[in-house]
Structure 1
Amino acid sequence: MSVTTLRPAPKHQRRSHAPPASATTPSPGLPARTPLHHAAAGLRLSGHWPELLCDLALLGDLRLELATTRVRLLDRVSLAGLRVDGPFASLHGTDQSLRLLLARCHALSAAPARDALLLEDDLGRPLLRLRPDAGRDARLWRLVMGGILGNAERVVPLQQTPPALAPLASHPLAALQALCADDPDAPGFADTAELTGQLALDPGRLRHAAAAAVAVDPALIPCALRALCEELLPIAITTGSDALALRRRAAFHAYDYALGRARLSGDATRFELDVAAIDSAWVVGSDAGATGGRQLRLYDADSRALAVIAAAPASAACRSDAAVAPCGGEPRFWRSLMNALTS
């Protein structure tokens, strides 16, 4: 029987609070925009979000970049099959699922060379970047970009204005909970709300909703991430920004730690995490009757979720030296790793 032991390296010392915004190194890739730039740039009004998202679905595979100062994810995505329900868009798949909060999305903006499309909030801050996948026909990209943006740099979709006295059922959290179906392969209501900053960590609620919730030392998280890469264990990472929660299932084969950031690389996916931003970490047991096994949940000092990590369910029973023993959905290495974190 294998036993996994984790010891934090001296360079991974815990810091109880994330560094101030002025001292945080911005994530590379997404250009910085200011409210002044946003207001001054040429823009035009367009149709509603469903029409624009249908145009993007014509492009097939795209390169997606989700970047905040604390979390960065680069991946490949196809928006074909994206479903829009009012201010909410969702895409479900076994290996990749996303939930997009359109009420928090203000505009679509072109990169200077029109080689990328940015999804922005109302202050002009980029939430998401999409660009054509390598080897794709650039003519189709230019055609769709021209249809969406025309000659403007930015397009602002029309949005429905809610009534002044909206009923409680139309509150953003209530609407989000109603639209989040119980799909085990997609981010659920709690994950989406915590990753987009609408719901703060409550340890009491966490323990009540799960079979068990155990706080673990955040200094051990880099060691755990490195062990997952060395084992090539398929995992599901759920992360997000103010308007998006994205779940990706992949196996990561390379680990790197530099300038306080842990980087995991796979064949088509790269995940990057600011280790100093982790204020608390939890190993959370699955709900009664669930088969997904335990989760590793990471939160910042503002009680906002940074990432939720889980193992892909085991497809066969785990073998020990003595006999075949079922694992309850947890691969053997993941079970040893979670036991090591909580011991």
Structure 2
Amino acid sequence: MSNPAPSHLAPSTSPISYDDSRRATALLGQISRVFDQRIVGQAPLRTALISSLLAGGHVLLESVPGLAKTTAAQTLASAVGGSFHRIQCTPDLMPNDIIGTQIYNYATGEFATQLGPVHANLVLLDEINRSSAKTQSAMLEAMQEKQTSIGGEVFKLPRPFMVLATQNPIEEEGTYVLPEAQMDRFLMKEVLTYPAPDEEVDILERINSGSMTAPLSAQPISLPDLEFLQSLVEKVYVDTAIKQYIVAIINTTRGGGPRPLPNLSQHVRVGASPRGGIALMRIAQALAVQAGRSYVVPDDVKALRHSILRHRIVRTYDALANNVAPESLIDAVYAAVPSP
């Protein structure tokens, strides 16, 4: 991305053909044009969403209300020509409302299965922390297993399948905090910030001119196109030195690694799991594809480190009381681990 890669990290022959690379660039351009029409600024959010989509993972979006979390999720769905369902979470939402149920047909005297809204390519779970623990676990099971069970029968979820969940950090009444084990199922947790003043002026101008709600002029990519991009991400070469670098980072969050951080245990109760290492590698591969590269460089592993690791590090009560940000702990870990 920024620095040219050391030659020892590149494979002797590229695992991605020139034609495939050109096709990927064209498809990513299509996705970008859809975002340009609907989203102002929010470059980190755009990168996080597209990278997760390519890596085949789920995203948790957190911000105060009104920062276009729902718009971003709908835009991502618009960029991919698949099915999209939105589920507004409430405390009385039941698992059957999400996964589906069996309905008795009096005319035939048989039960018919009615699939729930989770059976879509992209599912937006608005305010996931408003739903009860029972409903959250049903949704997270669907995310992990890529299937639902209704009346003893298993139904596969469509492919590709991606969940975008949103949560509001400031409201606590009537919310159910996601447990750490469930947070870990999300490939990334993206925290949105307020737009810059000039971007906010741009938003008002677009609203005023009606361009924000105008029909999309950009053409979405098809599901086979998306599956092609996802298969390309898996082909991206990851050198052993990069894998060792990722493992060293993950181990440093647990108090180990090549250069353990002194006093880390004062701030971190539980470090990142192996799932965190897999997420770092997958997202690095997705970023390489977006950069038109067929191999991973250290910058790819660093680029989205906050989004990948912030929800995988459990802080101590002292760290929470002293407002030690997970991002500062992640930066300290990266500073301690030498780059390959």
TM-score (norm 1): 0.27
**Greater strand share, structure number:** 1
